[in-house]
Structures are given as C-alpha cells and as structure tokens.
Amino acid sequence: MTEADVSLIQRTFAAQQATALRWRLSTLAERKARLTRLRDAMMAQREAFYTAFAADYRKSPAEVEASEFLPVMDEIRHALGSLKRWMKPRGHWPTSTMLGTRASVQYQPRGRVLIIAPWNYPLSLCFGPLVSALAAGNTAMIKPSEMTPAVSALMARIIADIFPPEEVALFEGSQPTAQALLDLPFDHIFFTGSPAVGKLVMAAAARHLSSVTLELGGKSPTIVDASANLTLAAETLMWGKFLNNGQTCVAPDHVYVHASVKSAFVEACRNVLQQRYGADGSARLNNPDLTRIVNRRHTERVAGLLTDALQRGAVLSTGGLTDLDQCYVAPTLLEDIPADAHIMSEEIFGPLLPIIAYDDIDQVIASINAAPKPLALYVWSTHKEQIRKIVAQTSSGGVCVNHCVAHFAHGNLPFGGVNNSGIGSAHGEYGFKAMSHERAVLRATPLMLIKLFFPPYTAARQRLIRLVVDTLRLPKL
C-alpha cells in the first residue's frame, strides 16, 4: 500500500482553511449544489461500483444497492429537502432572569472536517458523513480504508473529479496516512471503526481539542422472549446478521432466547438459511448472495473464534464451513457456548451467531449491563411490559423492537453509540448538528433589566437581588 504524501496532506489542510472561512457564508443554494454534484457523480459510476465491490470482497450488486447506495441517496435526498429548515436560526424565549433580551441559536460550520471511514461499508460510511459535512458548510479531508482498495480508488476519482482539493480531498493509505491526518488540528473528526482505534482517535483529537463523532461497535445483544413471533424473528435476524456476511457494526452479535422456545427458534433460523443460501455447504459456498470476508487475516480471525468455541464444547447447529483461500466462512449458528469461549467476549464481526437459552430475564439484563454498552439492542416480544422493562433497564446506542439493524437507515433518528460503542450522533439533522457549531446569540432590547444588578450594591439593591433569587426557588415537592 502506497502512503499519501505527508507534505501534500499538510498543504491541502492549509489550503482548506481559506475555503472554510469563506464557506461560513455559504448559501443554501451553494450547499445544495455540492450535494447534488456528489449524488450525480455516484450515480454515474453505479456499474463501476458493482465491479469494485466484487473485486474487494465479492459483494453482490443487490447488496451494493441496498446497503451502500440506498443509505447515501436517502441521506442526500433528506438533506436537500430539509436543509433550509436546518440552516435557519432558531429563536428562543427568554428565561425568567433574561427578560428584556432576544435570543437565538445559529448553526455555523465547524470548519475543516476529517472523515476516517472503515472497510465494511466503504461507500456508505465514507460518503454518508460527507453529506452531513457538506450540508453543514464544511470542507472535508477523507481517509477511506486500505482494505477495500478498488472501492477506495473509485471514490478518490469521484472526489477529484467534482471537488478541488481545497474543498474536499481524499487520501488513500493505511495507518501512517491516518496518523499524518490525525496530527493536524481539524475542527471536527468523524471516525467509524473499532472501540480500540476509537480511543486512539479520541486521544489524537484531545491534543487539539477537536470535537469528535465516534461511531464504534461492540457486542449488540438480541433478546427473543417466549411471546415473540418466532417466524418473523428468524426471518429478520437472519437478514440482519448475515447481511454483508456479518461484517456490520449493528449486526446482532448474540441471541438470548427463552428456553421454552429455543428449539423452535433455532429450527426456524435453519429453515431461513436453507431457503436463502442453499441446503448444504457446497450450495452456500457458491451462493452469489453471500459476501466474502474482507481479507484472509479477518477470515482467519473469525475462523479462529469458531474453532475456539467448538474446542471448548459449543454445539454446531448449522454451518461451520470455512475456506481461507476464498475468504469464506459459512453462516453459522452455535449453541451451548461456554462462558470462557473467546466468541463471548470479542466482537465477532462475521457470520457466527451464538444462541443462548435463558429462563430469567433479570439475569439477561444483568449480563447486558455487566458488559460495555453496545451500539444496538434488539428485543423480540409481544409482551408490552417486558419490552418496557428491558428498554428501561439497559443502555445501548439504539434499540429496535421486533426489528433489527433498520434504525441505522431512519433519517429522523440519531444514530450513534454510548460510551464504548461511540460518542455523538449522525444522520439527518443530527449529522448536520454534529458538523455544526450551535452558536448562542443574545441581543439586548431597550428593556435592560440587567441594570438592576449593577453596582453600587446599596441595601435596597441587595434586597431586590435577594427577592429575585427567592422567587426562583423551586416549590416543595
């Protein structure tokens, strides 16, 4: 992998400063034009993206459309339709002590934004944040993943064709290129990746007091209780888990299933996998709808988790076939997994799904709360009180009830993690605000009540101030 020229990175960063200052005054029409250019350039390269994704990890055109194009197109469409409202300053009524003033919040571009994107959804998770950055009026420097070189190269050509580098620039490379970028004092950093790397990014941002949006990961649990619609749960979870062959930050990591319905749930999952991917290992290996693991190193890691679990006594329910040369791991269901198996503590990020029986929901909630806060939590139930209890007593970046993964695509919801699974929110207006400084603007009116608090503090003035404080006391509960 050839690294980007550090001096070029530094010159581009310096050149973007003048643009960022100028873009503070960018109009609605100018921002919409930039988004439209990006949209049209993507669509013009649609077939080329099919080829690039097939080269990088044999992703089918249908998955390219559904999981790469669709989220970005929806993000652009949403921004084009809502940007006028998002950009408009918002007035606020004065609080009791601020009578005699007028206040508003203005949304000002942060300035120069760095976007570091991952390999699992290299287009969606690169251009998606770019939409928010451009909508908010920022310049951007982008570092895509070196693990998907064909897609990264195509994105680089698109960016170079439609933006001069002093507006938007993309730099290909690996860790040294990322480090050269992180050494610069960006106004905001948007990073998508693992919690371990996220800590390094946050440490780098701290050196310059740069604001951050960190979209990380973790082990997102699923609960299927005795009242759940097992057929629908199996159909949906087998989609959410094996989309992109499990290489999804919000994929169900493991499933807690009530013991009374566990056998029926596992059988329903087996049936879904057979219908979608084939009846045997050979059919699934050759199924064009199954994306490959991104490279051999990651294939070995996922295969190692499977081998470790089986050696420790886990039961293979279906799947289990691996082919390192083809970067292939079959969709695999595991049962009776020992607590000390590595798959129970490490983020899987692959097509392995542990299924765990439970009897007491309180123990499941305790297990979830004992682990780092996940990016997502999925609950399958028709019992309203049970759903309320689980949602209220757990913490996660997002929750889906009788669904999974789909909250990522809901443009009116904040997408992000909490603590170990991320910091900040993205998508839609939340992404616009993350890339903006919410600037408080207060204006005086002729009614300058603040003069009542000016010295000299005579006895009468002190009594007046004391009276004001007393009126603000909370009533007794």
Catalytic residues, by residue number, are: 215, 249
What span, in angstroms and rounded, lies between the C-alpha atoms of 365 and 374? 13
How far apart CA 12 and CA 17 sit, in angstroms, is: 9
Assess contact for 353 and 332: CB atoms under 8 A: yes
User: Radius of gyration (Cα) for the chain, nearest Å?
Assistant: 26
| Contacts of 199 by beta carbon, 8 Å cutoff, 6+ apart | none
- Other CB atoms within a 10 A radius of the CB of residue 50 amount to 16
Q: Contact, 340 vs 238, CB < 8 A?
A: no
Instruction: Give the single-character DSSP code of 65.
Output: I
Among 367, 430, 324, 47, which Cα is nearest to 221's?
367
Which residue reads 């960063």 in tokens? 13
Give the C-alpha separation, 442 to 24, whole Å.
20
Residue 262 belongs to what H/E stretch? helix 262-277
Distance (Å, whole) CA 233 – CA 398: 18
- Specify whether the backbone of 438 is left (phi greater than 0), alpha (psi in -120 to 50) or beta: beta
Angle CA 3–135–408, to nearest 5: 80
Rounded to 5 degrees, φ, ψ at 111 are 130, -110
